[in-house]
Amino acid sequence: MQQHVTILGVLFIVLGIFGVIGFLVIALVFGGSAGIVSMAGDDPEATAIAVPILGTVGTLLGLFILIMSIPDIIAGIGLLERRPWARILGIVLCILGLLHFPFGTIVGVYGLWVLFSPETEALFRGAPPPPPSS
């Protein structure tokens, strides 16, 4: 089960990094759009309204994605280091990830299977793994 915990930790980190990349893309797209609108706008009043809206929407959307991605990275690092709090955070993130079809759902189901396993529970407690049941 140690290998599955390591795989889950890496998956969390990868999903978190994709979120950070998404934040950067959104910042670039909305920032670029605001720049284009401000330079190409014929009506200064309309430009004065559109640019702050683009900036605000882009900032809020990007920050939301960034804030949702950081716990994935933290949980992934914690799982790789076998920290007890990371198991709990991983369970919470897996449950929330079930709503993010399809990748979040796949990682969520896999993560719940891994993190609720008695072997994994013992691994994070530092206890010897339970004997296999027949």
Least confident of 35-39, 98-102, 111-115: 35-39
What is the pLDDT averaged over residues 19-47? 87
pLDDT at site 22: 94
pLDDT of 132 > 70? The answer is no
98: Cα within 13 Å, side-chain hemisphere: 11
Distance in angstroms (rounded) separating the CA atoms of residues 111 and 93: 9
Cα–Cα distances in Å, from 7 out to 16, 80, 87, 102, 106? 14, 9, 13, 18, 13
pTM over the 0.85 mark: no
**What confidence score (pLDDT) does residue 66 get?**
94
Average pLDDT, integer, range 37-50: 82
**Is a pLDDT exceeding 90 seen at residue 47?**
no
Q: What are phi and psi of 54, to 5 degrees?
A: -60, -45
If pLDDT is split at 50, 70 and 90, which confidence band does 55 have?
confident
pLDDT value at residue 34: 85
Decide if pLDDT at 134 tops 60: no
